[in-house]
Every structure is written in structure tokens, then in C-alpha cells.
Structure 1
Amino acid sequence: MVNTNYNFNSVLSLKPLITVLKRMIAEGKLGAKRLYQGIINDIEANPVLLEPIDDETVLQEHYELIETLLSTIFTPSTGAMEGMYAIAFPFRSETVYTSPSFKEQFLPNDSREIVVPDNRTNYSIAKASLNLAYNLIMRKFYSWDVAAIATSVHTFPDKETGLTKYLELRLNAQFVDVNLDNDKFKLPTNYTAQRSLDMDELRKTFPLENFRFEGLVVIDVTDVTSEQVIAEIKNTLLNVNAISDVAVYEQMQTHIQTFLGLKDVTVGITPFIKINDHYIYSEQYYRNSLLFKTHRSQAEKYSITQLAKQIFETTDQPLLYTDLTEQNSKQHELLKYYNEQGARSLILCPLKGNEGELIGLLDITSEQPARLKYNHLVKIHSAMQLFSLALEKNIQSLESQINKTIKEHFTAIQPAVEWLFTEAAFQYLQMMQENDSAKIPSISFEDVYPLYAVIDVRNSSVERNNSIQLDLLEQLQLVHQVLEKAAAILEFPLLKEIRYKVNKYIAASSEQLLSDDELMIYDFLQKDVEELFTHLHLTQPELHKLIDNYRGALDPQKNIVYHHRKKYEDTLTIINNALDRFVDREQAQAQKFYPHYFERYMTDGIEFNIYIGQSMAPNRPFHEMYVGNLKLWQLLMLVKAARLTHALEKRLPLPLQTTQLILAHSIPLSISFRRKERKFDVDGAYNIRYEIVKKRIDKVHLLDSDERLTQPGKIAIVYSQQKELNEYLAYIEYLQSENLLIGDVEHLELEELQGISGLKAIRVDVNLEGDQSPTIAEAAKVAAKTVLRK
């Protein structure tokens, strides 16, 4: 068909077409005899036309008759409808019959040779021809059920618009017969269609020079520009940066121009990206926006966003404005922005997300009035969903990048402060576009009120040391029993030395045990004693029972006596787990009052910090009563925690108790996120004093006394200002009225801490036996009244 560089042996023949027409008549096809019999008779009256035609003069002498025959394939009316088709020699560039539009596109200078615009297209058509030729061979000689038609899509320049158009060439070889043309060539036998064959194998097995193709190939050409451009748009939009990348979007603009058939239109896309429930206007995401390509203030961008939402509040359909003037732009304020840019016709396409919210605008403009018409509106409507999906994917990708940045540079963030981390991550991603060495912005909150409390297991360190001592003593006593029996039956100097050490360690373990002593004793037991007992077990059968009893008393994983310490650690785990679940449940309720930051640390008990202030929730009105509400909630939570751990005592392996402490601080401070430690810390010299106080008050004693401030069954509140005392006394009075706190409030002076003076405290008993507590709503009401009285 075209110059393929393949060795086709082909010739034009009308005989295969005549054979098909005769078969249709013989099969009794409706109207076939009336339509075709006369033509067949005329052809048969000219025997030269039934032979292969390789002389061009034959075509010229019988042109009208041949054209009549060929019109049975393409009716004259097809030409009237500007169909693009041709009939050509089998697998050659030379045509016999063409429609006017085919001739205009492919036959320059009144030639009969098909000319394609580039070598790539030429090669692609040649490859399709080769595949088709081998299909004919397989059909004819092996009865394979393969197509006699091949299709391929190619780009061609549109002479009118200068744009690219896509044409599908359909090569139909049903009127081509193939025969062997070399007696010496033997067809392979038993060639079955069990697998696909590549072209190299076919050419090697069936060299084309051994075959002769006779007949004609029908070429039908269809404009598939719309379908192909939609596919190209889809592929382009797969690029995650398709919305914001200028180079990618230039391709997109070309695709849309081709799709609409208009070269002089401008395409823009404006995403409306929401982060933390408000719109983010970043230059990176508006490089391809028509609305935001000129410098506009944040307020003006927000106004434009709202205008776009108004237009498409009740419709998902694109809108067409064929003649945009200053006067008719007044029908909606958004239109004036396009008019100011010189747009005289406009298509606006709403891009909406899964939940129906407007996430962007696709806009197409022309400087010519009426350049954009209804048919363009219909076309672009069919592609809108692709842009909506791409924009949603772009936004989801941004959210994923933000979350990844937060995890890499921050930590698992609480919802109350997540919005600021999200904005910092977003800013960082924007800066990284310009500078690879950009630093993550700092995270800080100004003027927040701190609340601190701790629920501590009373004398936990003492109890831990006691349990270690008891376990060590038990293990050393067991070792001593074995050594006493061994000394009675053996004269072994090393035995005496080890027995001496055991007695020394028993004496040391009976008194206050230092950590270095503890490590030394365990090392002695693991090495010296174990090595000796292994030897004695092998050589002294009478010691088997005692050594086995000793080893049976050891924990199988830790290889030490672990009875008392297990009781202690199990007790601590039960208390901590109960407090952990309790605080989680209570904190979920507290977040409903007002968003605040809450962090806790599990130690021998639980320690927690709370920060609350306007800067943490800039979109919500703030009042000090929210701080008071949280303080009362905190006090009430400690009451409940004291009751909870008291109720647990009967079920604990060891009867450990908890103490409850609050640090009152009424002055707002500033906090910043420390990335290394992945936590918030206070800023400023005076604020650091607050942190120092937190670290030192849990072990503080009363002034001139050995008594600790914190005591089981009580809540202690440390303060430094009179207004703090007054506030907490009001809360205590309320909880006493609810029978949650009982007895008189103790007013206490505290010992001076290193670098800290002026601290005082109050202490009050918890009613550990009661089972009623006020609701959250009741507590909030009291807190509000207390704050409003101040």
C-alpha cells in the first residue's frame, strides 16, 4: 500500500470482488441480483478485466465500467457526505479509485500515489499491511480464523486550523486472494494456531516472495480526533503535577485546542484547595489559572472563590457566554474578571468532588466574540469528569505529602493542633519547590494557658527497691542452702570463698541496697554461682535435688528469682492501664468543651500537660471560662482517679496507693514544638520557671517538716498567686457540695525549692467511698460562674 521495504508480490485484480458479488447473488441476498448482475455481465463481456491488471492502459480504457463496479463498495452518496475512502493495489501505494476528500488529504498534485506526512506514519501503515498480508496467508492455507481487516491511528496536520487531527485508517483485504508463486517452496504442515507468532518468525517461515496477492484493498479513513484527544488528556492527567506543572499543562492546552478544533483559545484551571477548613492560595497551584494569573490579594482570591461557588451552587453543568462585554459582565460579578483580561467568549466548567463540593474551575476563553459555541460546550462537557478526577487526585496527593511531612518532621499530632502542623507542612512543601535546602517552619502557640497534673504511685521507688531486695535475698538463701550441703560432703577451697561472698551479699541485701551492689550481686549469681552449680550437678549426685530446687525457683526468661518484683510490676501495670483507659475516656469528653492540646507521660503513674488558648483555635471565639471549665474538669478527673485506684487496691498483688497533684498557673505563656524531642516546651525565661516548678514539686515537703505534700486519698494544689487560690477554693467548695471532696481544706506552706520561692499549697481529702459525680454539663456551669465572678 505504501513504500514498506517489504517484498510484496501483488497485482490489481477485480476477480475477488466479482466472486464475492456472485456469491451474494447465489445466496439470494435481497436485491443483489438486480444491483450486481448487470455489472457482472458487463465485466465478463471484457475478459481482460477478469485477469490480473498490470497495464495502466486497461484501467484508462475501461475507467467508467471499473468505477461502476467499485461503486458497489462505496455508494455515490458517500462521496456527497465527504467520506474519506479509496481502493488501492494490494499492499501498494497506488490507488485505483478515491473519494474527493481522500484525494485532498493523501494524493498531492493529482497523483495516484498515497503520500503520508512522516516516516513514522509510513512505517506504522506498512506494519499494519504486513500483519494483514500474513493474516491472509493463514486464512487461505491453514483456515485460521483471523481478520482480513487492519486498523491504525495516525496524526495529520489540519490544513485549516494548523492543529493536529487523528485519522484511523482501516485496511480491508476481503477482496484479496493469495496464492503460492513458487513451486519449490513447501508450506509447513500441521501449523496450528496454538500461540501468537511474532513477525520475525512469520517472515522466516513464510517468506513473502513465495506468495502472490491478487485483488484490491479498500481503505476507509475516519476522523477519530475526539476519541484520541480524550485518551491523550486522560494520559496527561495521570501525571500527579498535571494541574500545577506549566510544561504538562501546555500539553493539556494543546490537547483541548485540538479537541475543540480551535487554535486561538486559552485554557485555564483554578483549583480551590482547602486545608484546615479554609482555602490555601499558593502560587505553585495557580500557575495555570486564568483567574489568579495576575497578582491578587488573599481577600480578593477568597472573594473570587465565593463567586465561583455561587454560580455553581445549584448546577453541575458548564456555562457558555458567547459575547462577553463590560455591560453584560454585570450579570455576575465573576465575569468581570474574565472581561478585564480581554475574554470576549467564555466557557466555565465546574469541577466538583465526590461530595459535590466545588474543588476547581476549568475555563476556556477567546478574544473573539462568538468564537466559542454550543457545540464546543457539549464537547468539553464530555471531558469535565476527567479534570475533576485529576484535580481530586492532585489534592489527595498534596494531603498525602503533608501527612508524610508531618510524620517525618513532627510526630503523631493531636487533632486540636493538627491544623498548624498541616499549614507548616504545606508551607514547607511550597518552599521546597524553590529551594531544596528549605527548613521546616517553626510551630508555636502564643498566649496559651497551661494546666499540669500528676497521678503518682506512692513510694513507687521504695516499693521497687524492696521487691528487688526480697527477690535477691530469696535467691541468695537458696544458693546458701546448696553451699551448706556441698561443704558437708566436699573439701573444696573455692566453695568456701563463694560461700563467704554469699553470706556477705545476704547481709548487704538485708540493708539499703545500692544499684551498683545490685548489679554486682546479679553478675555473681549469673556467672560464679551458675558455673559452680553446673559442675556440682555433674559430679555430686547427692546435690541434684537442691540444685534442681534452686533452678526451679528462677524465672525461666530472666533466670533470676522474680517473685516480689513481678508482684510490683504487675501492680504498676494494672494501675497504669486503668488510669490510661480512664484518662483517654475523660479526655475525649473534655475536647468537646474547647479544642486544646493534651499530652501525657506514663511513668509510675501518669503525668499530663494541657494547653488551651485562642491561638490553638483561631476560628472559634475564646473566653477565659473555657480555661476555668478545663481546670474544674481536671480537678474532677483527679477525684475520679483517686476513687478508681482506691477501688483497685483490693485486687492488686501489692496494696499500692496513688497521690494526686495539680500545679496552678494563671498567666498565659508561649509554647514551641521541639522537633528533636517531638514535644512542646515553653518559651521565654519566666515561662521556663514554670517547667522547673513542674519537675520539682512532686517530692516537695511541707515547710519545716518531713511530711510530703502529696498524700494518698488527697488532692494537693500548688499555687503562687491569691487569685489562683480563690479560684480553686470555689471549685473545691462545689465538689464538696457534691460530696466528692470532704473535710476542711488545709492551707500549707512549702519548703523552698532550689531557685524557686513563694510557693504555697492547699490540700483536701477525696471521698473515696462515694459513687456519684456531677455530669460534664453541671461542672461546666460551675466553672463558667466562677470565672465570670473574677
Structure 2
Amino acid sequence: MTSVIHVNPSLRKAAEILGDARKGMGLDGFPFESKLSMEPLVSKWLFDFKDREDQLGELYRQIKKYTEEHESILGAYPDVTSLVRDHHPIIHLLLSSVFPVSLSENIYGYASGPFMMEPFYITRGLQNLLADATVELQYEQFTEIDKISYTVRACLIILEKYYNIPLDQVLPILFSLRYEGTSMERYYKTTSMLDFLEVKTRGPAPVIDYKKLDYLLRHLNQSEVWLETFSPDVFYFEGFYLAFMNDVTEVETLSRLRKLLLSSDSFLDFNTAKIVANLTRVYLSMLDVEVGIFAVDYPFEKSLEHRYNLHYPIVDNHLEYLFTDTGENIYARACRENRIQLIANLEHEDYLHPVELHLLRKGFKSLMVAPLHDHEKKVVGIMELAAPEPYVFTHVKRLKLNEILPLYDVSVEDSRNAVDNRIQNIIQEQFTNIHPSVLWRFSEVAFNYLNRQGNNSDDVRLIEPVQFRNVYPIYGQIDINSSTSIRNNAVKQDLVKNLYLISEVLEKVYAVTGFHLIKKLSFEVTNAINSLRVDFDINQETSVNNLLVQEINPVLKDLRNNYPKLIETINNYFLEVDSEMGIIYEARKDYECSLNKINNTISHYLEIEEVKNQKIIPHYFEKHKTDGIEYTMYVGQSILQKDSFNMHQLYNLRIWQLYSMVEINRQIAKIRIELPIDMTVSFLILVFNDPLDISFRMEEKRFDVDTSYFARYEILKKRIDKA
């Protein structure tokens, strides 16, 4: 039965839930006076049914009699409580023509005073919907229409009812219904019936012309603009309105899925992927289903899901087994046949692939797998759905899923493309020598190449060379003095220390074991020590390291496990050596630390100065770390995409070279006290006055001097460096 709220305590909770949800609609602080009145509905009854002789005629006579005995039913009430207190016996009767008792269980509807929070009348169907103790009802604002304030909506009603200007003033309201602790989610769109709502005035109303109307409609999101025209001192509302809530879960879920899936990078964000998975459950009306999505190329590439960062599988870390020779499974079959595959009951299958067995052990009984495609219809991803109950995936569910798969296809492809683009940007920024100053030329060449492809040119495979003519080279080098000698001394120091230490250890090991192998290793250690006393070269470093790491260390580790007396001796030795390299690496570490600190200081200075120098004139710049830093700059008109080059800009950069020598030397002097091994630097500047041509070498991915005529520049550089 349909009931009046305030005389039926069992309906209070449903009304409060609905009232709380309506608070989110912006009804707090509503400026217009609103009074609840049944007079419009009473008048309709008394006019429409006075001549009826059927059941409606009997109801008419009851209402007429009640009205004559209780004239206050025609008055206006400031709140719901007063009306219900005085007239609750007749309210149900009055509304029976709107909410038929026979349909009450199937109608989600209510009656409310104009712009009031809680309803005064609610259908049995809506009561049942909101009866659960965990239910949550929330006003949603997914679209710009949803965000129009109720002050503006009230003004739209004034335009419609008072000024007879036809507008879509009954804007729909969207509620979401959720049950706490579950993923269940339903959407209900409320449409209002305003037949019993009246707009009244105090004093003269303003004139509304089309110019004013156009101005108002262009400011739907600004309540203050509307209130300047429709003053609450002039307009007020009486009566009530009816609302009907229609289940639009499937339509709204599909709309939200479309919005999320067609936005860029939707599957690259974990939270968005979770929302998509939940909306998929809601759309399919399968709340206990797990949804997984991951990128894949068919045939399968093992590392692809990590490369694309699109990796939300139910099968956990078993992806590498999906496309092996261990037997076919539902995933491989979906990709091979390129269509949705079902397993109704995993427990009743004659054969289960290890991946399917893994899912069964995880508690899943039924499975549905769909391949996802790119625009060329290649399989680029997989969508998987798994349920703990058998026989939940039917042909109908397959058809329903198939309707939305194109959205997932687009989203997965877009997400993969977004990752590819990011990877290309990283490669461009981090790993190639395409300097920003010359990137414009590479873009021109790429565009020309694409243009030839579009025109079906015969030379479509040929990409034109990237060349800059008549540019001036600027070369500089900051070298660490005697770096080779310093390193050799560090290596020799580590090796000698290591050999003497291991010699003592081997003596103790031989005393305990008497192994002839230990005697042989001791002999090789002694020979290595004698050899280092005479001379040192790079080959000795390699041979001694191999002796220590590949021959002696494995023997010591094995003996440590079998001879308790040797545990302390061998453990003490391994505490002295580097845990990763297996040798003493102290002096060499000091050398590398000093070298890196100097190189980083120089490199950091050059990077800061490069930003400043680009403002003098855009130019090509590259630097390389060796035992020190060397840099090359090319400047000239052909490098400039715009502006012009003149010689004083070249001279300015050469003067900067001299200045940089002084500044770098000063910075090195400041850090020398911090270096484990003291080092100094020398400077080289090559002034080459003739312009030359440079070209980008595709194989080496770098610029180089063009033609043999200009090769003397490179020869001169090498000869000066050797000197």
C-alpha cells in the first residue's frame, strides 16, 4: 500500500534517506518562499469527476464531503508536518489517481512540497527499495545540466508557468543507489510532474522580452543573475509536485563507461581501471564477477604487459603460460578464434590447462574471455571475467558484453599508443642526440617522408639526409691530468693488497686441508705478486681478477661449508673484499669517486651555461664524458629555423669558452679538498675559422663532419689531443 510518511513510522527511514540525498541538490538556502498545498489536486478532483457514477465518482463524493467539512485542506501549509497532522486521512485518497494502489509495488515515486527536502508521500516500491539498512542514496552531478542550481530551476518554472514561455524546465535528477560494503550500484533518473505546482506573485511581475530571455539562458550557472530578474519578494510557490524514479542503470552505466573509456590513457591509471571494472559489473548485473584487463600482442610477447603498463589480470603472474606449448586454454582459444570464449563450469571440464587450474584453485568456477582489437583488428589485449559460481556466463551475457567491447578496443589501443608516445619522447629526450635546436629540421624531414608516402612516390623508402651547411665548429676539452697513471696506481694498489691477503688465507687453508689445489693456487698468487712488482699493464688486472673471482673464491666458499675450522678465516676474508665484485675495490673506488665528482661538476656547469648560450643564438651542442669532458658546438645560419646569424655571435661564444676555463678551474679548486684522490685538470680549446658542413649519421645516430674536404678538422682535433 502507498503511505503517508509522517503517520507511518516504517516509512520514515526511506523518507530520510531520500531527504538526505536531496540536500546535495542545493536546496539549503533556497531563496523563494514555498508552501505545501493540496488545493490544485482537490480542485482537479472536484472538476474532473463530479459527473462520474463509477468508483471514481464515489471517491469524488468522499473528497467533496471531506472538503466541505475541512476547508483548511484548501489552504497553504509552511511544512509537511502541519499538513499531514491535519489531513492525513484524505491525502492517500487524493493521490490514488496518481499512484494507483494496484501498481504501488512497481512504482518508485513520491510527492513533495515545492522545493522541500523530504517527501510527504512515498510508494511501496520506493519504500522497499530504500528499506535495506546499508543503502546509500546520493545525488549525482555527471553532466553540466545536473549542476544547474535549484534557484535557476525554480526561475525556469516561473518562465514556463507564469510567462507561458515553453522551456524544458523539468530538468531530470539523477540519483545513485549503493549498498555499503558491496560493489552494487544502481542509477535512477527522477522526472517531475508539475501539474499541481503554482507560481504566485506579490505585486507587479517584471516584463520579459526575448533579449532578456537570451541573456538569462546564457547564464544558467549564475543564480545571482536570475535573482536580479525574478525577485523572491515578488514570486513564490504553492502546491506540490510528483516525482517518478526510473531505473536507468544500464543506460547511465554505459554512458559513464563510454566517457571513461574514450578519454585518453584510461587504463594507465589504476583507480580509473578499478572504476571501469566496477561499472562493467554493474552493466552486466554481475556483482561477484572479477574483471581483468591486460595488454597482449598475438602471437604473445612476454614483456608486453610491462611495456604498456596495462596490466590488471586475474591470472596474476601466469601470463607467460597462456601461449605456450603446454596445451590450449581459453585465453589462447579466444585469441586464435578472435571471439569471446566461455567455460560454464571449470570443475566439469575434462582437461584444464595449468592457467585454468590456477583460476579454479583461486575459487573461480566459470570464466569468460574476450579478445580486444586495434583498428586493424589485431589482438592487442584481453578482457577476462571470472565468477565464483558455475553457469553464470550465458549466451545472453556474451551478447551484452559484445555490445560494449568496441569501447574497450578503443581504450586499450589509445592507452597503448599513449605509452608508445611517451616511450618515444623519453628516447628522444634521454637516449638520442637530436638536440632541440635542430629538432625542427628532423620534423621537416619526417613530414616530407610522410608526404611522399601519401603521394605513393617511388622514393618512399628513402629519407632525405639531415644536413647543415656552412656552420662554425666550437670545440673544447677539459681533461684530467695523468688520469691513466692515477688509475693504474689505484688498480695495482688494490691487487697487491688483495694478493697478500689471499696468500695468508691460502696458507691457513692448506694447513687444515692439505689440498694440493690450494698449493697450486698459492703458487699462482705468488707469481702474480712478483709480476706486479716488476711492471703493470691492463692485462694483469684482468688475469688477477679472474684468478681471485673465478678460481679462488668458489673454492673458499665450498671449503667454508665443509670445514668448520675455516669458517672464521674465510668469513673474515670476504668481509675485506667488495660484496658484489668479490675483490678488494678500495683505491679504484676512490679513483672513480674523484673522477665522477670532477666530471659531474664540469657537466653541471656546462648544462647551466648552455641554457644561457642558447639565448645568445640557437646552436647545436653535445658533450661526452671520458676522463674529463669534451664538448662540441655548431653555429651558423643553416641551423636557425628563424632569425639570422652574424659573426659577432660566434665571437661571443668563443670568448665564453675562455671565461668557462677560468670558472671551471675555480670550481674544481673548491672541490679538490673533498676528493679521495687529488686530481687536476687541463684545458684545450680548438679555434677553427673555416665553416664546414655536418650531416646526421643514421647508423651512429649522431652528427659528423661531412665529406673528406672537411676531414682535416677531425684530424686536427685528434692530433692536438694526442699531443
TM-score by length of 1: 0.45
Structure of greater relative contact order (alpha carbons < 8 Å, 6+ residues apart): 2
Structure (1 or 2) with the larger CA radius of gyration: 1
